[in-house]
Amino acid sequence: MTVDQNQFRLLPSVDELLQSAAAQQLVASFSRPPVLQAIRSCLEQARAAMRVGASCPSSDMLLQEVSQLLLREQQPHLRPVINATGVIINTNLGRAPLSRDVLQAVEHVSHGYANLEYDLEAGERGSRHTHAAALLRELTGAEAALVTNNNAAAVLLGLSTLAMGREVVISRGQLVEIGGGFRVPDVMRQSGCQLVEVGTTNRTRIADYAAAISAQTALLLAVHPSNFLITGFTESTALVELVALARQRGLLVMEDLGSGCLLNCERYGLTHEPMPQESIAAGADVVCFSGDKLLGGPQAGIIVGKAEIIARLARHPLMRAVRIDKMTLAALEATLRHYQRGQAETHIPVWLMISAKPERLSSRAKRWAAQLQAQGIEVRVQRGESTVGGGSLPGETLPTTLLALDADRCALPLEELARRLRIGTIPVVARILRNSLLLDPRTVLDEQDDMLVQALATALRP
């Protein structure tokens, strides 16, 4: 196609646009360089469009585009999304959402200074580990507690401190990969321990452990194989048996619980998830678990156990590299307070979601449906299942009601609809199953209901 060069002369110059009142307002908010760059790129786009036959846009239209481009580019890269997947602890979407009280606690200690490592009574250097320790002791029954940046760090610290250069005995059925590259055998190698596998994938007996102990053995390790199930002909060794064997032979027992759950999952219609307080009662020397899985708090690794052992971990040089920061500590302490006050189910988002009443989920899905149908959008509701996720409770589901958009009733291919939802002003993440796009109210916060309906209506607009 030939291009009429005269057409291009109708476009305003960079300078004309920059001097306009609208652009000057943008300069006041964003500074000059990004506005200049946005003007150049919008003009370039207009020229490209005109080369293939588009008409010349007005200055107002160009300025509008400049403003939109800037808003898109200047929004934070890490930002909130609406999780409509029904997977409660969704690692890709930031795991556990935090309560308002928890966020307030973070703001409270982060806006100014805090006694992070300062003993106010003595007026001298203190330890950051004291802040959550008493609560963790109270809630788990352990003698001592320590917190790290995450549970992977807790496992690394535990193994490095207690078994570097020595042997660690573990069941073959527990040599798991948690996801995100966290494989138990790799972490052991990294900690300088020698792995001694015992038993078989599906069955490991206490005699298998006993036979594998040598003069080089330091530790018996139990790992909760959190994200998969072995069913059928299985046998595993109870922690109490491991502890008894370890005592007899002068060894230590460490347990990586993965999720670690302070509440009894059975009360919520789920199967039992191992609880740190049970492991402590069974006599484990060190027990570690995540802060942002079923605990429902910030990313953290929690280590509880015998005072003398925890003190060794705290003194290890790695501790400095895996230490927790003050915002996280504040969030963790506030989360633990919810448990202490018996408010976990009413205040911790993960537990609010797990314990959501089926009638309430159904009425929310129906309300979304009615609001969309009123705008002429064809949707329906159906029974479905939510999952806990986060590598906990594999195979366990919670009954829910889903909003469904069917491929044969949708103006867009479902993949395209899902993409539009993801890239909208408020990104919405949904799932596609067979020929329907499904949205689960369980993981959508109440205050996001209107936004979600709005996002769907916008995504479906021609």
Ligand X SMILES: *Cc1c(COP(=O)(O)O)cnc(C)c1O
Which positions touch ligand X (CB under 6 A)? 150-152, 155, 178, 182, 223-224, 226, 256, 258-259, 290, 301, 391
CB 210 within 8 A of CB 246: no
* Tokens linked to 354: 């797990």
Q: What is the DSSP string of 6-49?
A: HHHHTSPPHHHHHHSHHHHHHHHHH-HHHHHHHHHHHHHHHHHH
Residue 65 vs 256, nearer CB to ligand X? 256
Taking the C-alpha atoms of residue 362 and residue 349, their distance in angstroms, rounded to an integer, is 19
What DSSP element (H or E) covers 209? helix 206-212
Alpha helices in 75-168 (DSSP H): 100-110, 130-140, 151-163
Minimum gap (Å) between residue 301 Cβ and ligand X: 6
Residue 324, SS3 per DSSP: coil
Residue 224 vs 338, nearer CB to ligand X? 224
Minimum gap (Å) between residue 351 Cβ and ligand X: 18
Residue 84 vs 284, nearer CB to ligand X? 284
Residue 131 vs 224, nearer CB to ligand X? 224
Taking the C-alpha atoms of residue 438 and residue 405, their distance in angstroms, rounded to an integer, is 7
Residue 290, SS3 per DSSP: strand
* Tokens linked to 434: 């067979």
CB 38 within 8 A of CB 73: yes
Minimum gap (Å) between residue 325 Cβ and ligand X: 15
Q: Which residue is nearest to ligand X (CB)?
A: 258
* 217-223 and 167-171 beta bridge pairing: parallel
Taking the C-alpha atoms of residue 289 and residue 259, their distance in angstroms, rounded to an integer, is 6
Residue 152 vs 437, nearer CB to ligand X? 152
* Tokens linked to 330: 């504040």
Minimum gap (Å) between residue 229 Cβ and ligand X: 14
Minimum gap (Å) between residue 80 Cβ and ligand X: 21
Minimum gap (Å) between residue 174 Cβ and ligand X: 9
Taking the C-alpha atoms of residue 243 and residue 234, their distance in angstroms, rounded to an integer, is 21
What does the angle CA 432 – CA 433 – CA 439 come to, to the nearest 5 degrees?
Answer: 55
* Tokens linked to 414: 């479902």
Minimum gap (Å) between residue 220 Cβ and ligand X: 16
Alpha helices in 355-406 (DSSP H): 358-373
Residue 151 vs 400, nearer CB to ligand X? 151
Minimum gap (Å) between residue 90 Cβ and ligand X: 13
Find the helix packing angle between 307-315 and 151-163, rounded to 10°: 100
Taking the C-alpha atoms of residue 385 and residue 401, their distance in angstroms, rounded to an integer, is 8
Residue 239 vs 437, nearer CB to ligand X? 239
Minimum gap (Å) between residue 151 Cβ and ligand X: 3
Minimum gap (Å) between residue 232 Cβ and ligand X: 22
Residue 14 vs 175, nearer CB to ligand X? 175
Give Cα 229 to chain centroid, integer Å: 22
Minimum gap (Å) between residue 304 Cβ and ligand X: 15
Residue in 363, 361, 415, 351 with CA at minimum distance from that of residue 384: 361
Residue 225 vs 441, nearer CB to ligand X? 225
Residue 86 vs 258, nearer CB to ligand X? 258
